Amino acid sequence: MSAPTVGLALEARNFGKFLSSSRDVFHYGDWVYKFDVGEDETGWQPQPQNRAEWKTYLYLTEHPETLPEGTAVPEMVLLEADDTEVEGGCIIASRYVEVVNTIPDCEYRAGRCHCYGKRERCWWEAMRYDGPLIFDLWGNVYYDKQDTYWLLDLGYGSAEVST
């Protein structure tokens, strides 16, 4: 499939597979397209996430040493869109990653999270205490068949990436 474009993203909204998220997220071809959403019928306004996710992605790609060993982020593209068509004026296109499942719940032993023996020090403990200031990643890390950990949602809670 070709490189992501605003046109393909809008097509994904109609024909892609909807993925559960706090944003409108659609898998279409080799990409996952993420759309910020506006206020709901009760008037609740969610936090815009696409620009925050882009900022976090740039930080992590410029500082790969902040990621724990065996952890990766998928390739991302920020698509600038017409504000009248797309909430927030931008769309995130994220390269699709085939994952097995979320990481298992962590167990604490002597102040360390062991992730049931998968690592001496788990990915989120390293990210929380040694890496950039990114919150709420626990449920957004998945692993693939090669046991690579993928951070698949860098948007929510990551507006204050440390430098």
Q: Give the separation between CA 22 and CA 34, rounded to whole angstroms.
A: 10
The pLDDT of residue 36 is above 90: yes
Q: Give residue-wise pLDDT tens across range 142-157.
A: 778 887 888 888 876 5
Instruction: Classify residue 127: in a domain, yes or no.
Output: yes
Instruction: Classify residue 161: in a domain, yes or no.
Output: no
For residue 157, the SS3 value is: coil
Predicted confidence band at 51 (pLDDT cuts at 50, 70, 90)?
very high
- In this prediction, residue 152 carries a pLDDT of 85
Predicted confidence band at 162 (pLDDT cuts at 50, 70, 90)?
very low
Q: In this prediction, what percent of the chain has a pLDDT beyond 90?
A: 33
Sign of CA dihedral 154, 155, 157, 160: positive
Instruction: Classify residue 10: in a domain, yes or no.
Output: yes
Instruction: Classify residue 95: in a domain, yes or no.
Output: yes
Instruction: Classify residue 23: in a domain, yes or no.
Output: yes
| Residue 114 DSSP label | -
Instruction: Classify residue 162: in a domain, yes or no.
Output: no
Work out the end-to-end distance of the chain between its first and last CA atoms, rounded to an integer number of angstroms.
35
How many domains, in total, are found in the chain?
1
Pairwise pLDDT comparison (74 vs 146), residue with the higher score: 74
Instruction: Classify residue 17: in a domain, yes or no.
Output: yes
Instruction: Classify residue 160: in a domain, yes or no.
Output: no
Contact 17, 28 (CB under 8 A): yes
Predicted confidence band at 17 (pLDDT cuts at 50, 70, 90)?
very high
Range of the domain at 48: 6-151
**Residue closest to 22 by CA, chosen among 100, 106, 139, 123:** 139
Pairwise pLDDT comparison (101 vs 4), residue with the higher score: 4
Report, as an integer, the average pLDDT of 60-83: 87
